[in-house]
Amino acid sequence: MSTVRPAILIARAVFPEIEDRLRPFFEIETTPPGVVWTPAQLVDRLQGKVGVLTTGGERIDAGLLAACPGLKIAANLAVGYNNFDLVAMTAAGVLGTNAPDVLTETTADFGFALLMATARRITESEHFLRAGRWKEWSLDLFAGAEVHGSTLGILGMGRIGQAIARRAAHGFRMNVLYHNRSRLAPDREAACKARYVSKDELLRAADHLVLVLPYSAQSHHTIGAAELAQMKPTATLVNIARGGVVDDAALAAALRERRIAAAGLDVFEGEPAVHPDLLTVPNVVLTPHIASATLATRRAMAMLAADNLIGFLVHGKPLTPLNSEVLTP
């Protein structure tokens, strides 16, 4: 019996306990903290590997697959998987897995935090205070938009969208509207007290619009100049979905010209680069893709990715497969 263990790459630094979980089963190659492999370096590292633990930052596409014929699985440490070309992966017989559920509530908490910070101008007013510009109290000093009792629009009503809706309806007595590719079952709508509307109605009616839809070629620039023009001038926009869902240049222009009141952004087109115009407008709250970032949740996401590698490569049963058709030859 061969004692050679299959080799895998952990493509971004993870917590030591994740490596410990994988080590009994695999020869693991780790990635030092702060290192992000270029596509060519990734191909290089993947030679002789059957599995890879990726984050949303590593692209698994036809070019990489052709150059890494031994690869059998890419386990994403993220619920979103727009970094995977699933069609190419399926064609190459490579399984993709993601990390759903374990981050839902934490990400919804953050969506709400970003909504609150944006509507109530928390970072803008903190910068003002830190700059020593607070000289007196005045009636409209950083007066923001009402959150409780207002109308919340949610675009993309998956698990995270529903978790945000529950917070809004039950905690903040908001009127919750949503638009999604498909309408929720009546019992789910009732649980989130959310009403299905067209995208146009959502844009026009929302006091606050939160984006939670997956990124794909179809959702590219779902919010561009035309959509921003439909929104209320008092509205806030929150993007915790993916960069590319919003046309960041169009958004920066709308914010500068006060065509909408404010935006809260955790994700950006071309991140970690941020559109320079967004850095110069005051009415935007910017965070570095941290919606799922609590230690407990990031640990759970990484552990699920590790368990997908073990589940598939050791037991033939991944926990959260994306293209399970590759499992049945």
Bridge partners (DSSP) of residue 177 are 153, 195
**Applying CB under 6 A, which of residues 31, 55, 104, 118 lies at the interface with ligand 8YV?**
55
Output the furthest CA–CA distance in the chain (Å, rounded).
Answer: 79
Question: Rule CB under 6 A: which of 95-124 touch ligand 8YV?
Answer: 103
Q: Is 292 in the site for ligand 8YV (CB under 6 A)?
A: yes
**Applying CB under 6 A, which of residues 65, 78, 160, 278 lies at the interface with ligand 8YV?**
78
The span from the CA of 277 to the CA of 255, in Å, is 10
User: Which lies closer to ligand 8YV via its Cβ, residue 236 or residue 292?
Assistant: 292
Interacting residues of 2 by C-beta distance below 8 A, sequence separation 6+: none
- Single-letter residue type at 298: R
**Applying CB under 6 A, which of residues 6, 80, 93, 224 lies at the interface with ligand 8YV?**
80
User: Which lies closer to ligand 8YV via its Cβ, residue 60 or residue 77?
Assistant: 77
The span from the CA of 193 to the CA of 108, in Å, is 16
Q: Is 77 in the site for ligand 8YV (CB under 6 A)?
A: yes
Question: Rule CB under 6 A: which of 162-181 touch ligand 8YV?
Answer: none
User: Which lies closer to ligand 8YV via its Cβ, residue 77 or residue 155?
Assistant: 77
**Applying CB under 6 A, which of residues 79, 147, 260, 261 lies at the interface with ligand 8YV?**
79
Q: Is 56 in the site for ligand 8YV (CB under 6 A)?
A: yes
Catalytic positions, written as ranges: 242, 271, 289
The span from the CA of 210 to the CA of 306, in Å, is 31
Q: Is 222 in the site for ligand 8YV (CB under 6 A)?
A: no
Q: Do the beta carbons of residue 35 and residue 13 sit within 8 Å?
A: yes
CA 152 to chain centre: 19
Q: Do the beta carbons of residue 286 and residue 263 sit within 8 Å?
A: no
Interface positions with ligand 8YV (CB under 6 A):
55-56, 77-80, 103, 291-292
